[in-house]
Amino acid sequence: MPSSPNSVRSTHPRRLLLLCVAWLLAGSALAEDEKPEAPVILSTGTASLMVEGRQAANVAYSITPGGPRFALWPIAAVLGVEVRIGPLGDSHTLVFEDRHIIVGPAQASMVTVAPDGRGERKITPLDGAPIRVAGGLMVTLELLERALSDALNYQFAWNPDQQALTVARPELRRLRGSVSLVHQYQVSLVEIRFSEEPRYRVEQSPGALDIRLIGDRLELPIQIPRAGDPLVENIIVAPEGLRLELADNAVAEKPRLLTGPVTRMVIEVFEGRASSEAPGPSPRRVQERAPGIRTIALDPGHGGAETGAIGPAGSAEASLTLLVARALKLQLERRLPVKVVMTRTENVEVTHETRSAISNQNRADLFISLHFNSSFGPQAHGAETYFLSREASDQRAAEVAATENRAAGGETNPEQDLQMILWDLAQSYHLAESQRFANLVQEELNLALGLRDRGVKQAPFRVLMGAKMPAVLVELGFLSNPAEETKLQTPAYRAELVDALVRAVSRFKTQVEARDVVPSDADADSVGTGAAEDPS
């Protein structure tokens, strides 16, 4: 199923070649909008490389109009970083355990890739390009910092008076943390809070996921949630990081870090499914959700006794949303290579929790809740598209409510409250994407129907909170407006709304999939991050 643990090591030469090709490609792509730097060397000299207060080596440097440049080789050697030189002698690859950084002469950028060359290729623009001299590559201070600070937590300082390049490693930070774990809507959610933003890397292997801190340590003890989760069997905490031990049928998604007033890392753990149910063509796609929009969850708002808005002519929101959802499912599946799941197919009451669970369980890539609006008075008209507001993630507030309300005799379920809080946080990772999609939906609706632009809005809508994917709620018109109600009762008018929604989904799908293009390695889409070394 996943790649064998030693595949990374055994294929070095081929991989290295691929990396060099990747770097050359990246370079040529960038070259168009960046004028190649003609390096004017004003003077040269030899600087002392000071590491933790002691002179560790001499380093050649050149002063150029863009600042000093230093010989890369001796610095890397002193710091224990392996440098591999490409077959043409140009590309230099700095080899770290979790990443390879490729730089080269006259390229004002560096390329970061996973050690196996798979996955995302990150291109970081630099102020100045390295210069190739007889002794190797001369690089800027910026490049040293960008390449080595992130990976090894080194900090560089150049003192021109003393001709000293100082390398310091700040003391290990001690991070406090806490861990919580909930299982809801078919997904287990691990939330790790940190006192400061951690530097970390993730190692994923069958049955476990490790979060290893880089240059930081966790302050113990940390309270671990009690066992009993169906997907996460155990959480082990050590000063160096955390390990999640997963059940046989569980797969974890890549942890995501949310910074803000509180720094949190959230890891979603899903139930691994039989390959026949997999949305994509490849049954091997198990470990990480491959990018793309393949499965769409349509949520016809309201249902059953919960009618939603009622128009003056008697149209019920709950029935209209179902009609539109059915038509939209048909059109989406006919016109796009997608699968559509519906949160309800009949006019029955369905809780928000169930709607979320259906969408999550089917691992939908997009969630669309369909509604029709009403307001006070008959005037209001037009379409509105909503995504979740951040206010809904106000954790402390909800905690207070849960406690105080219980104390005051109100009827709440504290366990449920806690779960909702955590789920809101998880949804907040998708807000940017949700907003992007909401913009497209609103644009298409306005364009198609000449509707008044009430714009894209945010609200703490409950049905959006449990969605583990980009999620929007679309209000397709006001039933409280008699003229609009009449139009909405017409199938032809609804078909135009459906068309607009299909176009919005299609555009979003194209955007997402264009952005997430991976290097054209034949099996690049198989098992995600690929760093399959056993951490222990």
Helical (H) or strand (E) element with 304: none
Out of 172, 397, 483, 518, the residue judged to bind other proteins by CB under 8 A: 397
> What is the SS3 assignment for 208-258?
EEEEEECCEEECCCCCCCCCCCCCEEEEEEECCEEEEEECCCEEECCCEEE
The one segment of 278-286, 430-438, 456-464, 493-501 that binds other proteins by CB under 8 A: 456-464
Is 15 a binder of Zn ion (CB under 5 A)? no
Task: Please count the residues of this chain forming the interface with Zn ion, following the rule CB under 5 A.
Answer: 3
We find the least distance from the C-beta atom of residue 268 to other proteins, in angstroms, to be 21
The contact mask relative to other proteins for 459-488 (x = CB under 8 A, - = no) is xxxxx-x-------x-x--xxx--------
Binding at 377: pick from other proteins, Zn ion, none (beta carbon under 5-8 Å per type): other proteins
Rounded Cα distance, 157 and 42, in Å: 20
List the structure tokens of 166. 């100082």
Residue 383 · residue 477 · CB < 8 Å = yes
The least distance separating Zn ion from the CB of residue 305, rounded to whole angstroms, comes to 14
Q: What does 462 bind: Zn ion, other proteins, none (CB cut-off 5 to 8 Å by kind)?
A: other proteins
157 binds, options other proteins, Zn ion, none, Cβ within 5 to 8 A by partner type? none
Sign of CA dihedral 137, 140, 145, 147: negative
Residue among 507, 470, 505 at smallest CA distance from 289: 470
Which region, judged by CB under 5 A, interacts with Zn ion, from 195-203, 303-311, 351-359, 462-470?
303-311
Does position 373 interact with other proteins (CB under 8 A)? The reply is yes
Query: Which residues 408-437 are close enough to bind other proteins by CB under 8 A?
Result: 408, 410-412, 417, 420
Q: Which of residues 315-354 bind other proteins (CB under 8 A)?
A: 317, 352
Task: Give burial (CB, 10 Å; 0-12/13-18/19+) of 460.
Answer: middle
Nearer to other proteins, 87 or 410 (CB): 410
Stretch that binds Zn ion, among 30-38, 201-209, 296-304, 499-507 (CB under 5 A): 296-304
Cα gap 40→536, rounded to integer Å: 49
Instruction: Please select the residue that binds Zn ion; options are 104, 117, 301, 528, rule is CB under 5 A.
Output: 301
User: Which residues ranging from 360 to 419 are in contact with Zn ion (CB under 5 A)?
Assistant: 371
Q: How far apart are CA 70 and CA 139, in angstroms?
A: 5
Which of residues 105, 128, 130, 308 is near Zn ion by CB under 5 A? Answer: 308
With binding defined as CB under 8 A, does residue 376 bind other proteins? yes
Cα four-point dihedral sign 304, 306, 307, 308:
negative
| Residue 407 near which of other proteins, Zn ion, none (CB within 5-8 Å, type-dependent) | other proteins
How do 453-459 and 366-373 pair as beta strands? unpaired
- Which residues contribute to the site for Zn ion (CB under 5 A)? 301, 308, 371
- Which residues contribute to the site for other proteins (CB under 8 A)? 301-302, 306-310, 317, 352, 371-380, 384, 386, 391-392, 394, 397-398, 400-401, 404-405, 407-408, 410-412, 417, 420, 459-463, 465, 473, 475, 478-480
